[in-house]
């Protein structure tokens, strides 16, 4: 992309959720101290009809995976933005309650280059439908708990204040990036990191051993 002189961004819109943006800003500012743990749990529900519609969902060829690749891609982007570069992964996945070739449940334990650890769970098996995504961020100086992007508890002082009222969305940010000749909020390189993490979890499960990332 850079060699071609093309500006490219990725629409990971959860980056623009005020709660997540505030936590990322606090991490970057060192307010959590040394980051230790970032845990992610995506507990969603999808019925069999969801997977049957269109013939592509829950397939390796066209969906690329199940709950981890499809529903989990956005939280994995947030995770790698918060915690950095993953270097070692141990994963597992299964289809527990759907007739699909991919997974409706996946789990991973991740080690990052900076020593941060993460436990990941994604599933579309949680009935009744009440989709929730949980983030827990813990550092030597404090913690934050988020549900669906809302900070529900924190010991970080800056996160106890209401966020600014306006935040750009992915499209607006990309328009500004073009006009200002700057990188967009979510670059291709950052997006690739989250996809590599997902693929490493799948590979670890298939090989039944930990996988190291370059």
In this predicted model, what pLDDT tens digit does every residue of 59-81 receive, in sequence order?
999 999 999 999 999 999 999 99
How far is Cα of residue 121 from the mean position of the Cα atoms in its chain?
A: 11
Is residue 5, in this structure, part of any structural domain at all? no
Task: Evaluate whether 66 touches 93 at the Cβ level (below 8 Å).
Answer: yes
Is residue 97, in this structure, part of any structural domain at all? yes
Is residue 1, in this structure, part of any structural domain at all? no
What pTM value is reported for the model?
0.94
Q: Determine if residue 157 is left, alpha or beta; phi over 0 gives left, psi from -120 to 50 gives alpha, anything else beta.
A: alpha
| Number of domains the chain is built from | 1
pLDDT tens by residue, 138-175: 999 999 999 999 999 999 999 998 777 666 788 899 99
Alpha helices in the chain (DSSP H): 18-28, 48-52, 73-83, 170-180, 188-207
How far is Cα of residue 22 from the mean position of the Cα atoms in its chain?
A: 16
pLDDT of the residue at 166: 65
* Residue among 108, 122, 84, 99 at smallest CA distance from 49: 99
Domain that holds residue 33: 13-212
What's the CATH code of the domain at 118? 3.30.360.10
Q: How confident is the model at residue 118 (pLDDT cuts 50, 70, 90)?
A: very high
Is residue 4, in this structure, part of any structural domain at all? no
Is residue 173, in this structure, part of any structural domain at all? yes
């Amino acid at each position: 992309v850079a060699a071609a002189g093309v500006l490219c961004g990725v629409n990971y819109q959860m980056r623009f959720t005020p709660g997540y943006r505030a936590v990322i800003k606090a991490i970057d500012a060192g307010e959590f101290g040394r980051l230790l743990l970032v845990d992610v749990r995506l507990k969603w529900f999808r019925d069999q009809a969801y997977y049957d519609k269109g013939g592509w969902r829950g397939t390796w060829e066209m969906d690329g995976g199940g709950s981890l690749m499809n529903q989990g891609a956005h939280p994995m982007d947030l995770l790698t933005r918060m915690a950095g570069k993953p270097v070692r992964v141990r994963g597992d996945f299964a289809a527990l309650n759907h007739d699909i070739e991919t997974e409706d449940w996946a789990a991973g334990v991740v080690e990052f280059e900076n020593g941060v650890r993460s436990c990941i769970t994604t599933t579309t098996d949680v009935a009744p439908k009440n989709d929730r995504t949980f983030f827990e961020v813990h550092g030597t100086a404090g913690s934050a708990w988020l549900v669906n992007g809302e900070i529900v508890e924190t010991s970080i002082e800056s996160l106890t204040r209401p966020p600014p009222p306006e935040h750009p969305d992915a499209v607006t940010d990309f328009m500004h990036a073009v006009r200002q000749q700057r990188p967009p909020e979510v670059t291709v390189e950052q997006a690739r990191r989250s996809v590599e993490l997902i693929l490493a979890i799948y590979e670890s499960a298939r090989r039944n051993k930990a996988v190291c990332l370059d």
